A and B are shown apart, each in its own frame.
Chain A
């Protein structure tokens, strides 16, 4: 009896609410008893029959309550319930016999309850279809331009002739340029199907140069069915111009990838350009100095796992110091006894590279270590629908240029740079002028090695850090230096970037490995023609060869 009466009370309440709704709703959104229009709509939605639900849905969607979207989504997803006892509308999360519920109106967490104390708010297929459309429109009316943009993009996949009215309306009120552009695109796509050929022509004009994949598909479909000659011609022209634009952007993207690869090569090779070019020393352990830089990054990140970005920034000077000191140590203990004997230097430094590799393998394990990227380096820069640039590659490209500029300034403007160049050009004359050539040698070698360490920091963001990291770059680096011209920093920059871009342009035809082989063969042939590289330079190395 009690149960029955409570149920009846509930029904009665509902009935009264429904009865009162039109009056209250029309007059004002704020009812006398303090309930808002939204709350009344929700009550109707929760308790009414399908027809009433539809009315409520429409009202909720047309209103601008921020809770509307979540509510409609929950309704569509079958997560909207009401508590049987008092009719409170709730969201349900979790499955099984016990579920946790949240109040729709207040957003309060109401704890967990038995599922059978709740009643699901059901909808039928007609409502479901309508609901989807309303949800899309809801996004379009959102005050946040980002949300509106997302909603237009979503709408783009489910356009129908009716959409045009809504779109027209939205275009009138839209203030954000980006969203407006997308709305116009959407409208034009609908207009393409218009029976009037003038409207179709207008649509084509609107779509000119639009890079969306949807637009391209729609145009292709239009050309399949189009009878009108004028529209056809125009359509073909528009499609061709779009394709040309896409091809252009693809080329730009390829150049970007090439430059990105090239910047890595430049970073790896530029330290070598100093040791090989300026003091004429073949350092086969150069790759392992890069590896040391990468491992330095790894170690610093292990110490401060909370701030990855800061660790990465700190790793740059740290890697410079670690690799630079290792380089000076190598120079002082081995290389200085071998000046003037390049082949012996080559063998000895190769031995050092093996020792360094094996040390790392013993200390850190032979497995690859992963260095994480900070958040500001992940993601990509979406310039337009067909062209996006990955941020980490962009960062490394910029970084490589900065390192190059810094090194160039050191060599051209600083006192030590002057000494380095003097010793490179004429060792005995430089010594006669009071330059301590041996010290300069050590410092130059340290500088080149330090740059290798910095390259290692950059590489740790692109590839896995492992004992073989250096080995895979040493031959490429030598190729860049030899190609660009020994002892010439500009040559290294141009050579590295050229090889990177060339590699990316050959790759689509031949695959990555064959592209690499072709580049190697090309350099071998190039050296026949110009043994001094792209930019020949005088110096100790230049005179020796």
Chain B
């Protein structure tokens, strides 16, 4: 198995995956089996919060894959995350059925509220879990493929590409805010009841989602590790460092970029799909440029071009966010802004860069 061989050389990754495995096993046990009176009990709130962080970790890996290893700074990764989330949200909406406020067996509440008579065509099929899961992968993947095909073919690079991706997510945000789009306008999709027949309110379902997030993160990590260590990954690093030379040697740079960009988008979509049932809502805010750029700072804090760094960064920054937005709501944006400036100025390799021995310069 190649992947095991790769993992052996990735010590930080081994530690991260080991800890991840531990958390994925222990937290649900502490939540479900340890009685609430015990000091070891993990509340459902904490478990859900941790599950959210794991989704962010997966998202951060997808950002790192294209930024750290391919040199594309996408300021629109949140768009793919949100699209995956919306696909999952649509499945969950259809599962509500006649239990909604208006009791319409076919139409979600917001459509009844808007006085719609028929289910829009793009809502069909989402009553099946498999179809929704297919869409979780297909929709972000297709969007990334189309966008990337246009962008990479005409060699839009660097800051231009960053701004284009930002415009993409901004346009989607504006579109999803519209009620006429059929995705619930600014309220988004919420009020979910159950997933695959299991109620979302029970601890067991929550634990299941938590485990799924942990597994997805591990799988995402390993697949990205595989990609970055394979020939494709070597090429992508080469493109990051000297795009023209790779092209002169005879490689089709745009195709390599397109594959990796699309794969990263799919990962982000999966992260979004796992995120939505845990937080219980998806709305157009997830498309906001700020959300996307926050993901970049996770990776920057953790350390570019190290996959485990991305995970560490996502956990740290989000923990800080959860803490600060409660303790000092005003201070969070100051802290985030300072983080951007300080990390780029003083810590270009991120936190994990401090721990690593100085590697050969890129």
A interface residues (Cβ-Cβ under 8 A, vs B): 282, 334, 337-338, 342-348, 350-355, 357-359, 361-362, 471, 475, 478-479, 482, 511, 513-514, 516-517, 520-521, 523-525, 527-529, 531, 544-545
Question: At the interface, yes or no: B313 with Cβ under 8 Å from chain A?
Answer: no
State A337–B342 Cα separation when bound (angstroms): 12
Question: Number of residue pairs across A and B with beta carbons under 8 Å?
Answer: 120
State A529–B158 Cα separation when bound (angstroms): 17
Query: Judging by beta carbons under 8 Å apart, are A351 and B340 in contact?
Result: yes
Given the complex, which residues of B lie within 8 Å of A517, measured CB to CB? 171, 174-175
Query: Given known contacts A334-B345, A347-B297, A348-B345, is B340 in contact with A354 (CB within 8 Å)?
Result: yes
Interface centre among A511, A516, A528 (most CB of B within 10 A): A528
Cβ contact of A334, chosen from B147, B178, B334, B341, cutoff 8 A: B341
Query: Judging by beta carbons under 8 Å apart, are B337 and A479 in contact?
Result: no
State A363–B232 Cα separation when bound (angstroms): 51
Question: At the interface, yes or no: B155 with Cβ under 8 Å from chain A?
Answer: yes
State A355–B334 Cα separation when bound (angstroms): 5
Query: Judging by beta carbons under 8 Å apart, are B159 and A351 in contact?
Result: no
The segment out of B18-26, B106-114, B162-170 that lies at the interface is: B162-170
State A479–B171 Cα separation when bound (angstroms): 12
Cβ contact of B341, chosen from A352, A362, A514, cutoff 8 A: A352
Query: Judging by beta carbons under 8 Å apart, are B344 and A531 in contact?
Result: no
Given the complex, which residues of B lie within 8 Å of A528, measured CB to CB? 150-151, 153-154, 156
12 more A-B contacts (CB under 8 A) besides A517-B175, A521-B171?
A: A334-B341, A334-B345, A342-B158, A350-B340, A351-B338, A352-B337, A354-B333, A355-B341, A358-B333, A478-B166, A513-B178, A520-B167
User: 13 A–B contact pairs at CB < 8 A?
Assistant: A282-B159, A334-B345, A342-B159, A347-B300, A351-B344, A353-B337, A358-B330, A361-B333, A520-B171, A524-B147, A527-B154, A528-B151, A544-B158
State A361–B329 Cα separation when bound (angstroms): 12
Query: Given known contacts A342-B158, A517-B175, is B330 in contact with A361 (CB within 8 Å)?
Result: yes
Given the complex, which residues of B lie within 8 Å of A357, measured CB to CB? 333
Given the complex, which residues of B lie within 8 Å of A338, measured CB to CB? 344-345
Given the complex, which residues of A lie within 8 Å of B268, measured CB to CB? none
Interface centre among B177, B178, B289, B334 (most CB of A within 10 A): B334
State A381–B348 Cα separation when bound (angstroms): 56
Given the complex, which residues of A lie within 8 Å of B159, measured CB to CB? 282, 342-343, 346, 545
Query: Judging by beta carbons under 8 Å apart, are B337 and A355 in contact?
Result: yes
Given the complex, which residues of B lie within 8 Å of A345, measured CB to CB? 344
State how many angstroms separate the Cβ of B318 from the closest Cβ of chain A: 16
Cβ contact of A343, chosen from B162, B178, B338, cutoff 8 A: B162
State A482–B171 Cα separation when bound (angstroms): 16
Query: Judging by beta carbons under 8 Å apart, are B330 and A475 in contact?
Result: no
Given the complex, which residues of A lie within 8 Å of B289, measured CB to CB? 475
Nearest CB in chain A to that of B348: its residue: A344
Query: Judging by beta carbons under 8 Å apart, are B164 and A524 in contact?
Result: yes
Query: Given known contacts A354-B336, A362-B330, A545-B158, is B175 in contact with A478 (CB within 8 Å)?
Result: no
Query: Given known contacts A520-B170, A520-B171, A528-B154, is B337 in contact with A545 (CB within 8 Å)?
Result: no
Nearest CB in chain B to that of A516: its residue: B174
Question: At the interface, yes or no: B73 with Cβ under 8 Å from chain A?
Answer: yes
State how many angstroms separate the Cβ of A287 from the closest Cβ of chain B: 11
State how many angstroms separate the Cβ of A142 from the closest Cβ of chain B: 53
Query: Judging by beta carbons under 8 Å apart, are A348 and B336 in contact?
Result: no
Question: At the interface, yes or no: B160 with Cβ under 8 Å from chain A?
Answer: yes
Given the complex, which residues of A lie within 8 Å of B296, measured CB to CB? 347
Nearest CB in chain B to that of A337: its residue: B345
State A353–B153 Cα separation when bound (angstroms): 32
Q: Which 3 A-B pairs have the closest CB atoms?
A: A351-B340, A354-B337, A355-B337
State how many angstroms separate the Cβ of A344 from the closest Cβ of chain B: 5
State A361–B167 Cα separation when bound (angstroms): 25
Given the complex, which residues of A lie within 8 Å of B340, measured CB to CB? 347-348, 350-352, 354
Given the complex, which residues of B lie within 8 Å of A362, measured CB to CB? 330
Query: Judging by beta carbons under 8 Å apart, are B164 and A527 in contact?
Result: yes
Nearest CB in chain B to that of A525: its residue: B150
Question: At the interface, yes or no: B246 with Cβ under 8 Å from chain A?
Answer: no
State how many angstroms separate the Cβ of A332 from the closest Cβ of chain B: 13
The B279-323 residues at the A interface (CB cut-off 8 A) are 289-290, 293, 296-297, 300
Cβ contact of A355, chosen from B157, B166, B333, cutoff 8 A: B333
State A346–B348 Cα separation when bound (angstroms): 14
State A527–B158 Cα separation when bound (angstroms): 13
Given the complex, which residues of A lie within 8 Å of B339, measured CB to CB? 351
State how many angstroms separate the Cβ of A542 from the closest Cβ of chain B: 12
Query: Given known contacts A351-B341, A355-B334, is B162 in contact with A514 (CB within 8 Å)?
Result: no
